[in-house]
Chain A
Amino acid sequence: MTEQLDLARFRALADAYGGSLARWPAAYRSAATRLAATSEGADVLAAAAMLDDRLDAWRDRPVTNGLSARIVAGAPMSASLASRARLWWSGIGVAAALAGAAAGTAAVLVTVPADQAVDGGTSFGELADAGDDL
């Protein structure tokens, strides 16, 4: 869907989304591109882009490898991978006591069942609930 755009709405969109049309609602981009080619439209975008540039001075922090590793390590392993781990242990003839320990380890690694509730957190598809304290 492509929306019509007059200069007043063009200004309002620039006031909200800034000088980069990539941030504007897709429905307006085609008409906005045409208006941006006019001198009035170009002035509006240039003024908005000045603020964008100023805001861009606050850059993202780099992610440390340690943080990524900790987060990945906290993810559950699939049941199939855990089963393979059990087979590997039994295949090399580990003693029964050790096999039991491996099974225990595997049990810990099994993926959390899908029907386990999130403990008071936001669930998929429940943005309204997630926004209760908005």
Chain B
Amino acid sequence: MSEQDPDAGLVARVGRGDAAATRLLVAAKLPRVLALAARMLRDTAAAEDVAQEAFLRVWRTAGAWQPGRARFDTWLHTVVLNLCRDRLRRRREVTGETLPEPVDPAPGAETTLLEAERARQVADAIAALPDRQREAILLVHYQDLSGAEAAAALGVSVEALESLLARGRRGLRASFALAQERDDRD
């Protein structure tokens, strides 16, 4: 899959210290990196820290990158996932929490209260999923990775990924249905 890596040329230029390529790579990848970290951690400051750390790893590694192996975007997602897992693990050790802290998931000052509440419900439902199902949903639905790319990032087969996705989506449906029932009763 990596022979058609659309980022190969740009990463090679970054590895040679090309400043323009560096800016282009940040412009292209930072929104994706931040989006994944923010949804994993539900903490803006921590997500920005993860984004900076992920790019530090890009800078350290770009010069040694070899086309023909992993796709850059898949590798970058794996780095971000691992950094977020480390932070979640440390958070659990310190606070005993098994779920990410609920922090405002809605972006932008223009967001209405209703939109913010809908976003929070989705964020809460996704946070309640088992880790692997949550990661599968984040990679495929929000990060738009293909099944093969998401499976590679998670280190599972495509069949296993599809099972994680299907179970995750069933869990989300059940969660939303329960919330709807509660709303109807109130």
Contact = CB atoms under 8 A, between A and B. Distances in A.
B51 A71 contact: yes
A125 B76 CA distance: 11
Interface residues of A, number: 55
Contacts of A51: 169, 172-173, 176
Given A71-B30, A72-B23, A72-B26, A57 B79 contact: no
Contacts of B98: none
A61 B22 contact: no
Contact of B17 (A48, A72, A111): A111
Interface string B162-178: 11011001101100100
Interface string B121-148: 1110010000010000100111010111
Interface residues of B, number: 76
Q: Is the interface of A mostly helix, strand, loop or mixed?
A: loop
Contact of A16 (B35, B65, B148, B162): B162
A79 B18 CA distance: 10
B87 interface: no
Given A16-B166, A58-B39, A114-B15, A124 B107 contact: no
Interface of A: 12-13, 15-18, 23-26, 48, 51-52, 54-55, 57-63, 67-68, 70-72, 74-81, 111-116, 118-119, 121-128, 130-131, 133-134
27 contacts: A13-B162, A16-B165, A16-B169, A23-B146, A25-B147, A26-B146, A51-B169, A54-B122, A55-B137, A55-B172, A58-B126, A58-B142, A61-B47, A67-B52, A74-B52, A75-B26, A75-B59, A111-B17, A112-B59, A121-B61, A121-B79, A122-B57, A122-B75, A124-B72, A125-B70, A127-B74, A130-B79
